[in-house]
Amino acid sequence: MSAFSEGKGTVLYMTGVVITGGMVVLACAAPWIAPYDPALQLVGKPLSAPSAEHLLGTDKFGRDVLSRVLHGGRLTLLFTALALLGIVAAGTVLGALAAAAGRSVDRLATNIIDLLVAFPAVIVALAFAGIYGPSLGVVLTGVMLVMWAPFARLSRSLVRQALASRSAQTALALGANRGLLLRREAWPRLRGPILVLAAVEAGQLITVVAGLSFLGLGAQPPSPEWGAMLQEGRAALWSAPHLVLGPGFAVLVTVLGLTCLGEGLRDRLEVAG
Amino acid sequence: MRGFRYSATLFAGAAVLALTFTSCAGTAGSAPPAGAPAGELMRVATGAIAKSVDPAAELSASYLRAHGAAEALMRITPEGKVVPELAEKMEATAPAEWTVQLRKGATFSSGAPVDAAAVVASLTRSRKLNSLAQGQLKNVTIEASGTDKVTFKTPSPQPELPFALAHYQTVIYNASLLAPDAVGGVDPAASDLSGPYRIKDFTTDRTMVLEANGSWWGGRPKLKTVEVRQVTDHQARAQLALSAQADIVQDIPSDRAKELQQSQAVQLVDVPAANTVAAYLNPSSAIAPALADVRVRQALGWGVDRKELVELATNSLTTPSPSWLASNPGYPDAAATGFTSYDPVRAAELLDDAGWTMEDGKRQKDGKPFVLRLLTFGAEAATGEVLQAQWGKLGIDVQVQNVESTLITQAIKNGNWDAATQAWTTVGSASTLIAGQAAPDGAGNHSKLAIPGIEELLKTAAAAGNAQERSDALLEVNRLMTEYVPSVPLHPRVVATAVSSKVSGFTAHPLQYGQLITGDVGISK
Amino acid sequence: MLVHGFTSLLSLVLAASVLVFALIRSAPGDPVDIEFGASGASTFLTPEEDTRSREVRRAELGLDKSVAEQYVIWLGRVVSGDFGKSFRTGESVLSEIADRLPASIGLGFSAMGLLLLMSALTAWLAVRKPDGPMDHVLRVLSIAAAAVPTFLTATLGLRWAAEAAGYPIAGEATASRLWLPAVVMAVSGVPTMARVLRASVLEQGAMTYAAAAKARGAKPRTVLLRHTLRPSLAPVMTLAGLTTATLMGGAVITEVVFSWPGVGAYAVEAIGAQDYPVIQAYVIVMVLMAIIVNRSVDVGQRLLDPRTYRKLKGTA
- Residues 332..371 of B with a Cβ closer than 8 Å to A: which? none
Q: Taking the alpha carbons of B319, B324, B328, B334 in that order, is the dihedral positive or negative?
A: negative
The residue count of chain B comes to 525
The CA dihedral of A25, A30, A33, A34, to the nearest 10 degrees, is 140
Nearest-angstrom CA–CA distance, B139 and C78? 46
- State the complex-level ipTM: 0.83
pTM for this prediction: 0.80
Residue A4: closest CA among chain C residues belongs to which residue?
A: C131
Residue A62: closest CA among chain B residues belongs to which residue?
A: B312
pLDDT of residue A107: 86
Query: Is B221 exposed, middle or buried, given 0-12, 13-18 or 19+ CB atoms closer than 10 A?
Result: buried
Residue A214: its H or E element: helix A187-214
CA dist A248 to A235, B392, C155, C160, Å?
14, 28, 12, 17
pLDDT of residue B402: 85
How many Cβ atoms are within 10 Å of C145's Cβ, its own excluded? 16
The residue count of chain C comes to 316
pLDDT of residue A176: 77
- Reported as a single tens digit per residue, the pLDDT across A99-130 is 888 788 888 888 888 888 888 899 999 999 98
pLDDT of residue C141: 80
Is C179 found in the same domain as C57? no
Is C166 found in the same domain as C31? no
Is C73 found in the same domain as C17? yes
Instruction: Provide the shortest C-alpha distance from residue C225 to chain A (in Å).
Output: 24
Identify any residues that bridge with B271 across adjacent strands, giving them in sequence order: B495
Is C180 found in the same domain as C34? no
Chain C CB contacts of A111 below 8 Å: 8, 12
Is C305 found in the same domain as C166? yes
State the DSSP code for C44.
G
The third-level CATH classification (topology) of the domain covering B12-227+495-523 is D-Maltodextrin-Binding Protein; domain 2 (3.40.190)
Higher pLDDT among residues C169 and C107, named by residue: C107
Beta-strand pair B275-281/B419-425: antiparallel
Phi/psi for C37 (5° steps) reads -60, -55
Nearest-angstrom CA–CA distance, A196 and A13? 11
- Could you tell me which chains touch chain C, where touching means 3 or more CB pairs under 8 A? A, B
Residues 6+ apart with CB under 8 A from C227: C204, C207, C209, C210, C213, C218, C306
Residue B69: its H or E element: none
Domain parsing of chain B, residue ranges? 12-227+495-523, 275-491
DSSP secondary structure of B410-426:
HHHHHT--SEEEEEEE-
Nearest-angstrom CA–CA distance, A265 and A260? 8
Chain C CB contacts of A4 below 8 Å: 131
Is C70 found in the same domain as C107? no
Who among B23, B185, B233 is closest to C110 (CB)? B23
Instruction: Provide the shortest C-alpha distance from residue C121 to chain A (in Å).
Output: 21
The CA dihedral of B294, B295, B300, B304, to the nearest 10 degrees, is 130
Chain A CB contacts of B312 below 8 Å: 41-42, 46, 60-62
Nearest-angstrom CA–CA distance, B336 and C45? 42
Mean pLDDT in residue range C131-160? 81
Mean pLDDT in residue range A75-100? 93
CA dist B471 to B338, B465, B467, B512, Å?
15, 11, 6, 24
pLDDT of residue C29: 63
Comparing CA positions, the residue from B28, B47, B238, A216 lying closest to residue C267 is A216
Chain A CB contacts of B304 below 8 Å: none
CA dist A206 to C148, C149, C265, Å?
11, 9, 22
pLDDT of residue C49: 61
**Which residues in chain B land under pLDDT 70?**
1-39, 512
Residues 6+ apart with CB under 8 A from A272: none
Q: Taking the alpha carbons of B484, B486, B488, B491 in that order, is the dihedral positive or negative?
A: negative
b/e B345-360 (16+ beta carbons within 10 angstroms → b): ebbbebbeebebeeee
B284 touches chain C (CB under 8 A): no
Who among C143, C249, C256 is closest to A123 (CB)? C249
Is C9 found in the same domain as C106? no
CA atoms in the 13 A half-sphere facing the CB of A268: 16
Who among B235, B312, B392 is closest to A61 (CB)? B312
- CA angle B167/B109/B161 to nearest 5° reads 20
CA dist B377 to B304, B415, C234, C248, Å?
19, 18, 50, 29
pLDDT of residue B323: 96
Identify any residues that bridge with B369 across adjacent strands, giving them in sequence order: B364
Least confident of A48-62, A133-147, B352-366, C233-247: C233-247
Chain C CB contacts of B185 below 8 Å: 90
pLDDT of residue C225: 63
Is C202 found in the same domain as C168? yes
- Reported as a single tens digit per residue, the pLDDT across B38-86 is 568 999 999 888 888 999 987 889 899 999 999 999 998 887 788 999 9
State the DSSP code for B47.
S
Chain B CB contacts of C91 below 8 Å: 184, 186, 204
Is C246 found in the same domain as C182? yes
Nearest-angstrom CA–CA distance, B386 and B304? 9
Who among B308, B312, B385 is closest to A221 (CB)? B385
CATH superfamily of B275-491: Dipeptide-binding Protein; Domain 3 (3.10.105.10)
A241 touches chain C (CB under 8 A): no
Number of domains in chain C: 2
- Residues 193..252 of C with a Cβ closer than 8 Å to B: which? 201, 205, 220-221, 223-225, 228-229
pLDDT of residue C34: 60
CATH 1.10.3470 correct for A37-248: no
pLDDT of residue A165: 81
Q: How far is CA C265 from the centre of its chain?
A: 14
Query: Is C59 exposed, middle or buried, given 0-12, 13-18 or 19+ CB atoms closer than 10 A?
Result: exposed
Is C223 found in the same domain as C152? yes
pLDDT of residue A43: 80
- Reported as a single tens digit per residue, the pLDDT across C72-89 is 988 998 899 888 877 767
Q: In what order do the strands lie in the sheet with B357-359?
A: B357-359, B362-365, B368-369
- Reported as a single tens digit per residue, the pLDDT across C80-135 is 988 887 776 777 899 989 989 999 999 999 999 999 899 888 888 877 777 778 77
- Residues 10..29 of C with a Cβ closer than 8 Å to B: which? none
pLDDT of residue C312: 47
Query: Is B332 exposed, middle or buried, given 0-12, 13-18 or 19+ CB atoms closer than 10 A?
Result: exposed
Q: Characterise C313 by phi-psi region: left (phi > 0), alpha (psi -120 to 50), beta (else).
A: alpha
b/e A89-127 (16+ beta carbons within 10 angstroms → b): ebbbebbbbbbbeeeeebeebbebbbbbbbbbbbbbbbb
Residue B96, classed as helix, strand or coil, is coil
What is Dmax (Cα atoms) for chain A? Answer: 76
Size of interface B-C (CB pairs under 8 A): 191
- Measured CB to CB, residues of chain A less than 8 Å from chain B are 39-42, 46, 60-62, 133-134, 216, 220-222, 234-236, 238-239
Q: Where residue C183 sits, what CATH number does that domain have?
A: 1.10.3720.10
Is C115 found in the same domain as C56? no
pLDDT of residue C316 exceeding 70, the answer is no
Q: Tell if the CB–CB gap between C271 and A230 is shorter than 8 Å.
A: no
Residue B440, classed as helix, strand or coil, is coil
The domain of C120 spans: 102-315
Residue B499: its H or E element: strand B494-500
- Selected for mutation to probe chain A from C12, C138, C153, C155 (highest A CB count within 10 Å) is C155
- In this structure, are residues B221 and B194 in contact, taking their beta carbons and an 8 Å threshold? no
Is C120 found in the same domain as C163? yes
DSSP secondary structure of C5-38:
HHHHHHHHHHHHHHHHHHHHHTSSS-HHIIIIIT
Mean pLDDT in residue range C247-262? 88
Which one-letter amino acid corresponds to residue C40? G
Residue B268, classed as helix, strand or coil, is strand
Mean pLDDT in residue range A265-269? 83
CA dist B9 to B3, B114, C115, C194, Å?
10, 69, 15, 14
Chain B CB contacts of C103 below 8 Å: 26, 30
Phi/psi for B299 (5° steps) reads -60, -40
Instruction: Provide the shortest C-alpha distance from residue C73 to chain B (in Å).
Output: 28
